[in-house]
C-alpha cells in the first residue's frame, strides 16, 4: 500500500486556493516552527458565507494537501459550516493520512477557526468563545 493516497498526492502536487486575499475579512495563522508546519488561511466573507478562501502553507506535503482540501471544503459555505469542519473530515476527504501526519489536518481545522475568529473580532461580531481553542495553551497555535 502506498504511504499517501492519490488525493493527498493530487492536492500536494496541484494545490487549490493557494495565495493571499488582500484586505481579507479574516486571517488565521497557526503552526509550530519546531515541527516546521505553518498555515495561514485568508477568508473573504459575504453575508456570513465564505465567498473566497486562500492559503499559504510552509510545511510537508500532508500540510499542503490538508490546507488545499480544507479550503475546498469551506468555499461557498456558511461560517457555521466552516467552523464545524473537523480535522477528521479533512483527513477522510483526502482518503486518509498516516497517523504521524494527522497533526496536519488538525492545523487546517485550527487555521480556519482562527481566521473566522479574526473575522468576528475585526467586525465586532458576537460569538460563542467556546467554539475556539484557547490559543495560549494550544501547541499548534504558538508560532515561535
User: Which positions are annotated as active-site residues?
Assistant: 35, 104
Half-sphere exposure in the Cβ direction for 62 (13 Å, CA): 23
Sequence-distant (6+) residues with CB within 8 A of 39 are 28, 29, 30, 31, 55, 56, 57, 59, 63, 67, 107, 108, 111
Q: Is 144 within 8 Å of 34 (Cβ atoms)?
A: yes
Question: From CA 142, how far away is CA 138, in angstroms rounded?
Answer: 7
Q: Phi, psi (5° rounding) for residue 26?
A: -150, 140
Amino acid at each position: 500500500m502506498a504511504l499517501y493516497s492519490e488525493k493527498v498526492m493530487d492536492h500536494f502536487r496541484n494545490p487549490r486556493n493557494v495565495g493571499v486575499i488582500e484586505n481579507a475579512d479574516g486571517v488565521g495563522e497557526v503552526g509550530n516552527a519546531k515541527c516546521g508546519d505553518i498555515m495561514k488561511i485568508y477568508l473573504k466573507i459575504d453575508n456570513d458565507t465564505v465567498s473566497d478562501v486562500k492559503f499559504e502553507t510552509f510545511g510537508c506535503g500532508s500540510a499542503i494537501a490538508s490546507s488545499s482540501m480544507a479550503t475546498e471544503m469551506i468555499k461557498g459555505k456558511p461560517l457555521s459550516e466552516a467552523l464545524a469542519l473537523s480535522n477528521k473530515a479533512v483527513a477522510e476527504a483526502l482518503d486518509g493520512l498516516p497517523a504521524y501526519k494527522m497533526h496536519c489536518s488538525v492545523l487546517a481545522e485550527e487555521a480556519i477557526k482562527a481566521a473566522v475568529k479574526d473575522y468576528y473580532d475585526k467586525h465586532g461580531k458576537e460569538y460563542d468563545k467556546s467554539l475556539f481553542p484557547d490559543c495560549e495553551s494550544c501547541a499548534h497555535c504558538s508560532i515561535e
